Amino acid sequence: MKKFNEKLSKFCKEKNNRLCLGLDVDNSKLKNSSLKYLEDYIVDIIDNTIDLCPIYKVNFAFYERFGSDGFKILEKINSIINGRAISIADAKRGDIGNSSKFYADAIFNFLEFDSITVSPYMGLDSIEPFIQYKDKGIFVLCLTSNKGSEDFQMKISNNKEIYKYVIDMAIKNNYNNNLGLVIGATNKKYLKEIKSLSGNLPWLMPGVGFQGGDLKESISIGEKNGIAIINVSRGILNAGNRTINDIRKATKIYTEQIRAVL
């Protein structure tokens, strides 16, 4: 059984790409807002981009708002991808051990996602149940792409920002080679330092495009000693008239931009 970070690296290298397509489809912007249409649309997006994309990320908020019907779509995502790419459940879970165990069961076993995003606020014991799944990946929120990242993540304790303690925890607990970090591409001036601290942990980088992160810089710094995954959601999903053709074209453009830096 391959460890998650090896699998991630394999997909990225085979497809010569680091693009993570965020399947955060806002159905109210589609010509038909029904969930059946949304599901077919997602099937089409995946099937028409999977030769290029090594990774797909699903933000659970976009599906949970439809309750169990939204969850039914989440249940299908991994059979659509069908082992052709890595999937990330962008669910930002985190609870005491007992409950985190059940979240891990939900995301990894029941929904069959390859990986998850988790929040570190409750500490290591809230993340440990996920780490025990050796072939599954855990991207820990570290320095995020939003303005609120300043509120707690950037607070300095003993000459060191809180998010750097998250890096330490991830490095120390990467015994199953399945931990990664969420590093917002918007944090341009900190990327080099974070790279020097985070060893070979893969980065999941949101914030390129719409939020102002720089693709070229993110890749060139992020790819030192490790994989840097560039997440793009709105930048691709809102392309042109949102036809599958428009989405494929945008995916190709991002792919070419990434390949030019690799």
Residue 79 touches its own copies, criterion: CB under 8 A? no
Residue 190 touches its own copies, criterion: CB under 8 A? no
How far apart (Å, rounded) are the C-alpha atoms in residues 240 and 249? Answer: 9
Catalytic choice (3, 92, 188, 249): 92
How far apart (Å, rounded) are the C-alpha atoms in residues 194 and 190? Answer: 6
Least distance from its own copies to the Cβ atom of residue 122, Å = 5
Residue 150 touches its own copies, criterion: CB under 8 A? yes
Query: Given the rule CB under 8 A, which of 11-19, 31-39, 78-86, 105-113 is the region that contacts its own copies?
Result: 105-113
Region of residue 93 (left: phi > 0; alpha: psi -120 to 50; beta: else): beta
Query: Long-range contacts made by residues 27-30, C-beta under 8 angstroms, separation at least 24?
Result: 29/238, 29/242, 30/242
Residue 121 touches its own copies, criterion: CB under 8 A? yes
How far apart (Å, rounded) are the C-alpha atoms in residues 179 and 172? Answer: 10
* Contact track, its own copies, 29-68, x by CB under 8 A: ------------------------------x-xx-xxxxx
Among 3, 35, 44, 71, binds its own copies (CB under 8 A): 71
92 is catalytic: yes
Tokens of 118: 């988790």
The amino acid occupying position 223 is E
Using CB under 8 A as the binding criterion, the count of chain residues that bind its own copies stands at: 60
Query: Given the rule CB under 8 A, which of 8-16, 103-111, 190-198, 220-228 is the region that contacts its own copies?
Result: 103-111
Among 96, 244, 260, 262, binds its own copies (CB under 8 A): 96
Residue 255 touches its own copies, criterion: CB under 8 A? no
* Residues noted as catalytic: 92
Write out the residues near its own copies by the rule CB under 8 A: 24, 59, 61-62, 64-72, 74-75, 90, 92-97, 99-103, 105-106, 109-111, 119-126, 141, 144-153, 155-158, 162, 165-166, 169, 206
